[in-house]
Structure 1
């Protein structure tokens, strides 16, 4: 997990630190953490009709980022390409106010359906988090993203 987080540019990680953001890697359900206790039994946005609640979700972005150890890969309770990168991207988004900026909205509208077709990515903040994770996970995922979403890649590179 740490080696994948280390793929994020030091400049962005330093900004998170300087702005008081933390990344917590935890062994149990994220709702066991004080910051998430109020969400016990609550259904997250986009998970309606699944019968699942925040108790079942292995990660949350924001401050702090909370990610469950052993749940990094897609299919382990989430659909992200990589849990820790996706959730940390949410914190970067909140810190820099990226996903609702007019510049990013243009990129998202132009490329979202080319890259991520699931309805969950109709939200610009989810598109940003997932494409950020794709960009920083591996050279293979970055190449795949570059082929489908060159404007998104250019945007992420410019952060």
Structure 2
């Protein structure tokens, strides 16, 4: 079996999520080994690499004797760019990985959307304090906002049930 296997980001994500679930549910060692045995070729190699890295006692799993490390460009989460996530009042609550090619944005209580990196306003919520302070700015700015190009890393809007 070749060690130079390529894997799609989605395929890796699915396997990584499955291993996460298995580990969180504390599957017995023999069941994990059986699950790995049902996988084929590169999926099996990937699952083994993920389990060797994340299982507390990987030697107890009796994983198939395949390449110990499968080169996966998506496995090193620490190399992914992150952005700080702030509460509505500006306190830091950690960092969030950002999706390549999407601009990370934060949505404030009023619904105004700003870039999480630069703070630049990208969309002004109608009726918000920003809208009232800058008459006409929303009409000029909002048509240029493209939600598909952005990743919401913080959403501080009040989610209120609509009354009937």
What TM-score bracket applies, with the shorter chain setting the length? Answer: under 0.3
TM-score by length of 2: 0.21
* Bigger strand fraction: 2
TM-score by length of 1: 0.21
Tell which has more relative contact order, 1 or 2 (C-alpha 8 A, sep 6+): 1
* Bigger helix fraction: 1
